[in-house]
């Protein structure tokens, strides 16, 4: 296990004290959730360095496996393009990146943060179905959603796809279109590219 570094705690406290910073409240909340995830699931994490930055439009967040340009490690970056997403989806992104931190401390990370079998198995134990490209293709009811619901977070946006898959066939005239990380419904032909995974949406065989 890597030796904890006081600078990460200092950065957390610094962010909380910046009254003139627009992201102060959000970063405080995310640090609180990071500790909540750690305590509830026994992840034995170190304090992450949570950073807000403008990333590529198809990236929700990232974990840096190593030290950044200032020598700080365990850097979790959240893309500020996606702050208007439902809170449950934002917290799912944070938890995903914290699982990279868990793997860095206690497992065997894949090269370049590759989402290897160990990572996907760990994520699945909390209800997050992650593919090898790192897309959360489904969130199932489980320990993760239960914790969010206990704290008043609406998990509906995370579970919508799961609910839709349970609809009886023939009850909708809309067709299902899918990429690697999401599903949408439409009654017309679509020409769309997902900004999250970069794939074009393709029409599924069955309607729902």
Q: 75-110: per-residue pLDDT in tens?
A: 999 999 888 889 999 999 999 999 999 999 999 998
Q: How confident is the model at residue 183 (pLDDT cuts 50, 70, 90)?
A: low
Q: How far is 29 from 90, CA to CA, in rounded Å? A: 11
What pLDDT digit, counting tens, does each position of 8-55 carry? 999 999 999 999 999 999 999 999 999 999 999 999 999 999 999 999
**DSSP per-residue string spanning 132-160:** TTS-EEEE-SSHHHHHHHHTT---HHHHH
What average pLDDT does the chain have? 85
Q: What is the pLDDT of residue 185?
A: 65
Burial 19-54 (b: 16+ CB within 10 A, else e): eeeebeebbeebbebbeebbeebebebbbbbbbbee
Q: How confident is the model at residue 208 (pLDDT cuts 50, 70, 90)?
A: very low
Where is pLDDT greater, at 136 or 183?
136
Average pLDDT of the segment spanning 151-169: 69
| Domain 6-132+140-156 part of CATH 3.30.2010.10 | yes
Residues of the chain with CATH 3.30.2010.10: 6-132+140-156
* 8 A C-beta contact, residue 24 and residue 18: yes
* Token pair 């967040």: residue: 61
Q: What percent of the chain has pLDDT over 70?
A: 78
Can you read off the two tokens belonging to residue 167?
Answer: 């609809």
Q: What is the pLDDT of residue 189?
A: 67
pTM beyond 0.95: no
Where is pLDDT greater, at 207 or 37?
37
């Amino acid at each position: 296990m890597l030796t904890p570094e006081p600078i990460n705690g200092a950065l957390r406290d610094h962010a909380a004290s910046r009254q003139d910073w627009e992201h102060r409240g959000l970063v405080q909340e995310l640090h609180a959730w990071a500790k909540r995830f750690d305590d509830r699931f026994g992840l034995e994490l170190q304090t992450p360095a949570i950073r807000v930055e403008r990333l590529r439009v198809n990236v929700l967040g990232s974990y840096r496996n190593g030290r950044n340009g200032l020598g700080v490690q365990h850097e979790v970056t959240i893309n500020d393009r996606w702050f208007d997403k439902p809170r449950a989806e934002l917290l799912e992104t944070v938890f995903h990146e914290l699982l990279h931190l868990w793997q860095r401390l206690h497992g065997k990370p894949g090269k370049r943060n590759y989402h290897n079998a160990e990572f996907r198995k760990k994520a699945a134990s909390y209800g997050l179905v992650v593919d090898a490209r790192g897309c959360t293709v489904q969130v199932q009811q489980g320990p993760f959603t239960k914790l969010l619901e206990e704290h008043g977070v609406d998990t509906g946006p995370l579970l919508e796809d799961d609910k839709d898959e349970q609809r009886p066939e023939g009850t909708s005239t809309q067709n299902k279109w899918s990429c690697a990380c999401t599903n949408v419904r439409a009654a017309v032909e679509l020409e769309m590219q997902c900004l999250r995974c970069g794939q074009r949406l393709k029409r599924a065989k069955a309607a729902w």
